[in-house]
Chain A
Amino acid sequence: MFRNHGITFAVYPDEQGIEKVWPFDIIPRVISARSWKRLEAGLKQRIRALNHFLDDVYGRKLILQQRAVPPEIVLSSPLYMREVEGLRVPHGIHCHIAGIDLVRDHKGDFYVLEDNLRTPSGVSYVLANRYVMKRVLPDLFAHYPVRPVEGYTQELLRNLRWLAPEGIDDPTVVLLTPGINNSAYYEHLYLAKQMGIELVEGSDLLVDQDHVFMRTTRGLRRVHVIYRRIDDEWLDPIFGHSESLVGVAGLVNAYRAGGVSIANGLGNGVADDKAVYALIPKIIRYYLDEDPLLPNVQTFLCALDEDRAYVLSHLDELVVKTVDASGGYGMLIGPASTKLERERFRRRIQAEPRAFIAQPVVALSVQPVFDGKGLRRCHQDLRPFVLTGADVHVSPGGLTRVALKPGSLVVNSSQGGGSRDTWVLGAGGEDSADA
């Protein structure tokens, strides 16, 4: 029976689908209006600074020339893309869609754990979670002024259209997906449907004289803006992995020539490199002349001698991460590691210090989870989504991921994590809810 119906990886929140694939907790996470205001301001500040940083680093490089941050750390990033050098992107914006991972410590303060400025995913689950909550517990909404998350796709579409090359009144926008086998495929499908744009694969596009076209039954049609969900190195076989089948040959050149706009921009990885992450407070001060509203988690750069010495002598207390990896790969969690693992990391750090950073173990905030029998304490994080167009817009709420396994700190859905709806209260929302 199950086989006959195909495996449903439902993003569309049908009751069976969402419970199967995306473990969902019924208790919403509530964030008061006041907390959110601080958080929102902090996120906007951060993204503004990061966009300035990207435009500068791929442009005049003032921040490096003035040594406000160490150039050797920035330019040695494996995610730095020389192809973007000197490129003037539309409106000077490189990062249009960001997902910032936040954690809250035991005192209730939010910290930024990670920036995702390349192809952050998960927003469809935010929308799906809300859809389910409204159906399951409509009465609860009546008691709280919960701010809607609905507007996200419209805002995104507006921003994407805004990126069109000059003189195009009605641009053709497409979403470029690696294809049906990608784990986020259903998010791509969902977003494309919501925005009413074509969901295309690399083979649907072709580049001719630095213009991009899609193959349609009415012949070739010019594409002006691409919301891509393919990583930089797979986007164009001419520039990245030559064996890429999901990419489009010539796309990077078309982008450089201004024949097509791409969101997110190429080369954003340099700003979410985990070593550069440690420099972000300085970056914010440099460009905006403001103190960062959202603190970083304390980070040691193994590339710096002093930091490295500290890291090597405290391996059993720290979390060591590889700078260009994400999704929990290539990590050493000190307190939970064996002596052998620590030795292995010690050797790797000494061999290639730039590739590693270390952070103290962050205690994620906890909130009860209803597991069918009763309530348990579980750890959670938060990923709000920040859209940058003419203005910076933070979608009220975000993706709250919960470690459903008792005692676990891992919130990734592949490893027993789940999610819950995130409620941001509008003005008049009680602050007590935040406790």
Chain B
Amino acid sequence: MLSRAATSLALLGRHLERADNLARILGVHVALSLDRSDEPGPSFWIRLMELAGWPNGMVERREQAVEFIVTGSAGPSVRASVAAARSAAQAVRPSLPTELYEQVNALHWRMQRDTWQRDLYPSMTDVQLTTRLVDGLLEDTMTHDEAREFVRLGKFVERAANVTTLITRKSAELAEAEDTLEWTAVLKCCFAFESYQSRYSAPVTPERVIEFLLLDTTLPRSARFATAVALSAVSRIDAGGRRSRPRRLLARLDSMFELADPAGVALHPSDFEAQVRALLRQLELALRDTYFHPSKVSGTIFGEGGRTMPQQQQQSVRPHPHRRFTR
């Protein structure tokens, strides 16, 4: 498969996951702000902005945060992510099922309208449900080949990063006070509240939430689950036993989640995040060099049935328009 196509497919997966995640955390936090007896101050919204990937979010009120996260263009927003997913889908339209492209395209045009201003909830639900629809089309209408694996790779690497960010930030923020409401919101950000209850049927505590979201092997939104899917996608892309660098890095990330100690993460959230980030950065570069933009010509390629050129001929070929060379 052409690298350009693989890049677009992975970007499609990544940006849809990002849109889904933003829509989800925004909805949960708006609901959380309403549940609190006191009106949360600017710091609540600034923290939400940071979680959404806006490090210098200068916001004071809910409306501002909502507008940035839904429509902003200077940082990750739902609208921008959907638009990016659509451009990526457009670039590989021939290798996607028609219905899949149409769903992404239609969502893009719905997001261009301002219906979210009147009613945020249905609009954010739309994003999440359409993403599920695209997931379904991907699984059920597309051949399970390399193209599908690249979409999954993009999507689940993004998910692993998002969950890690959510947990480490919340651990840092909530270290002082044991805030059940906030930790419940964290679970809800990952569609995990009901699963948590049925797993533990116990009060929501930071350790359990961290354990569940980082390490659970059955929760589709856990960091470990996401890493495992990304790893399997890479293994299938590499078919035939090639152990590429992305595969080795994902295996390392996988074992990092496996071995993580929930209490330790709760105690030193930023250390853990830094380790994960460093690995993800390396992965990003490795993906680029291996799949998305290979540029190194290895010595073996030239030998591969290529015509070896006589030395003399090589010398005679110069970008000199007047020179006539002999053979």
Contacts and interface: CB of A to CB of B under 8 A. Distances in A.
B91 interface: yes
A200 B319 CA distance: 25
Given A256-B317, A258-B313, A200 B2 contact: yes
Contact of B309 (A215, A239, A257): A257
B132 interface: no
A210 B317 contact: yes
A216 B301 CA distance: 13
Contact of A6 (B94, B102, B304, B324): B102
Interface in A200-219: 200-201, 203-204, 206, 208-211, 213-217, 219
Nearest to A85: B324
Nearest to B317: A257
B325 A86 contact: yes
A402 B179 CA distance: 75
A170 to B, nearest CB: 8
Interface in A161-215: 165-169, 180, 189, 193, 198, 200-201, 203-204, 206, 208-211, 213-215
Interface stretch (B75-83, B202-210, B292-300): B292-300
A257 B314 contact: yes
Given A211-B302, A211-B306, A217-B1, A85 B101 contact: no
A206 B109 CA distance: 36
B4 A215 contact: yes
Contacts of A85: 321-322, 324
A214 B306 contact: no
Contacts of B54: none
Contacts of B317: 210, 253, 256-257
B26 interface: no
Contacts of B305: 167-169, 222
Contacts of A206: 295
A219 B289 CA distance: 9
Interface residues of A, number: 44
Contact of A257 (B237, B293, B313): B313
Interface residues of B, number: 42
B327 interface: yes
A19 B105 CA distance: 23
A5 interface: yes
B4 to A, nearest CB: 5
Given A86-B324, A257-B309, A257-B314, A215 B293 contact: yes
B322 to A, nearest CB: 7
Contacts of B105: 4-6
A352 B293 CA distance: 47
A431 interface: no
Nearest to A192: B94
Contacts of A215: 2-4, 293-295
B19 interface: no
A234 B255 CA distance: 50
B4 A204 contact: yes
A5 B102 CA distance: 5
B307 interface: yes
A393 interface: no
A30 B308 CA distance: 51
A78 to B, nearest CB: 15
Contacts of A239: 319
Contact of A258 (B101, B291, B309): B309
Contacts of A220: 294-298, 301
B309 A198 contact: no
B106 interface: yes
Interface string A208-245: 11110111110111100000000000000011000000
A147 interface: no
Contacts of A201: 4
Interface in B262-306: 290-291, 293-298, 301-302, 304-306
A252 B102 CA distance: 40
A83 interface: yes
A168 B307 contact: yes
A86 B183 CA distance: 76
Given A217-B6, A257-B314, A180 B90 contact: yes
A28 to B, nearest CB: 30
B146 interface: yes
A377 interface: no
Contacts of B146: 217
A102 B240 CA distance: 54
B297 A213 contact: yes
A167 B325 CA distance: 23
Closest 5 CB pairs of A and B: A86-B324, A215-B3, A82-B321, A4-B106, A257-B317
19 contacts: A85-B324, A167-B307, A168-B305, A180-B91, A198-B2, A208-B297, A209-B302, A215-B2, A215-B293, A215-B294, A216-B1, A216-B3, A219-B290, A219-B298, A220-B294, A220-B295, A220-B301, A221-B301, A238-B319
Interface of A: 3-6, 82-83, 85-86, 88, 165-169, 180, 189, 193, 198, 200-201, 203-204, 206, 208-211, 213-217, 219-222, 238-239, 252-253, 256-259
Given A168-B307, A215-B293, 5 more contacts: A189-B94, A219-B294, A219-B298, A220-B295, A222-B304
